[in-house]
Structure 1
Amino acid sequence: MSTVTSKPIQRILFPTDFSPVANAAFGHAERLAASTGARLIVLHVQQGLATVGPINDVDRETIRQLRAVRPRHRNLDVSRLVYAGSPGETICWIAQEAQCDQIVMGTHGRTGLINLLMGSVAEHVVRHARCPVLTVPTRARNESPLPDPAIELRMPHAQPL
């Protein structure tokens, strides 16, 4: 029987593709890092390259975008990485190798056929990561609130004591 131990969060991985979805999730990663004193690792994974692994010769635009992922809290310990490979696999591997305690990432919230055809990096990470994953969905500002749930109340028949 395994026991669950609660250890402090020391390293948080924040994967980004520089999209508005990722940008929205960064606030959550930043607040979590600030409240726990954890190191924040910002990771960008480039796919479609001939190599797999760390990229040392990063193009200027990627460097600019990485530097733009800047926390408002000045005392945060932030490092930035660029890797080549499959995003889902690379995110899980980096989290494992860096001994991250948490992954915080945005999700596009695609469902159905689009998700089946395109795949979902967030879904891959949730299924394969060796640490907890916080996914932050994006919602339209004008999205209607959830309806009240349909609740069926069933009263059990009184049983004699």
Structure 2
Amino acid sequence: MSDIMIAVDLSPFSEEVIRQGVTLAQRMNASVTLFSVVEVGLGIALAETVADLPARIRETEESLAAFKNQHPGTDINVVVATGNPKVVTLEVAHERNAAYLVVGTQGRTGLDHMLLGSTAESIIRHARIPVLVIPYNKADH
């Protein structure tokens, strides 16, 4: 059975990304890996971030489990990792031999995009598997 990895950041738009990814998985008779990354801070905040890490991981797992429970007819595995989402998302997708990767984009433009970069863009550039990007539409949200 194929596996579709749905990577989300738990923003309000994540529900739509998950909905569309699960729909794709159901049409393909595929299982789902529901995935999120807990980012670890740098610099002065690093000690604070590391101390808080177990609680943040648990909270993320609980949030993903709630999304999983909304789709009882689908085989969904919840996976949480730590690190840089641009790197760790692809590492996990490739390790799990995902057939497809589903991600969302917040649609940043201009200076915001240049400063923060785009996780979805980085994933598309470096993925060795097909990537489905669900665009964020402010009018819908």
**What TM-score do the two structures reach when normalised by structure 2?**
0.82
Instruction: Measure the CA separation in 2 of the matches of 1:132 and 1:20.
Output: 24
1:29 is aligned to 21
2:61 is aligned to 63
Aligned-residue sequence identity (percent) comes to 31
Residues 109, 137 of structure 1: 8 Å contact kept: yes
Q: Structure 1 residue 42 and structure 2 residue 34: aligned?
A: yes
Cα shift readout 1:109-144 (whole Å, capped 9, x = no counterpart): 11121111011110110101111111111112279x
2:4 is aligned to 12
**Structure 1 residues not aligned, in runs of 5+:** 1-8, 144-161
CA RMSD after TM alignment: 2.4
Aligned residue among 61, 73, 76 for 1:75: 73
Partner-residue secondary structure (3-state), 1:109:
coil
Higher helix proportion (structure 1 or 2): 2
Relative to structure 1, is the Cα distance of residues 140 and 79 closer, same or farther in structure 2, using a 3 angstrom cutoff? same
Residues 38, 60 of structure 2: 8 Å contact kept: no
1:88 is aligned to 86
Residues 38, 57 of structure 2: 8 Å contact kept: no
Question: Which has the higher Rg, Structure 1 or Structure 2?
Answer: 1
**Structure 2 residues not aligned, in runs of 5+:** 42-47
Question: Cα distance, 1:68 vs. partner?
Answer: 1.5
2:114 is aligned to 116
1:103 is aligned to 101
Runs of 4 or more consecutive aligned structure 1 residues displaced over 3 Å after TM superposition:
55-60
**What TM-score do the two structures reach when normalised by structure 1?**
0.72
Residues 45, 83 of structure 1: 8 Å contact kept: yes
Question: Cα distance, 1:63 vs. partner?
Answer: 2.7
Q: Structure 1 residue 129 and structure 2 residue 121: aligned?
A: no
Give the length in aligned residue pairs: 131
Residues 10, 39 of structure 1: 8 Å contact kept: yes
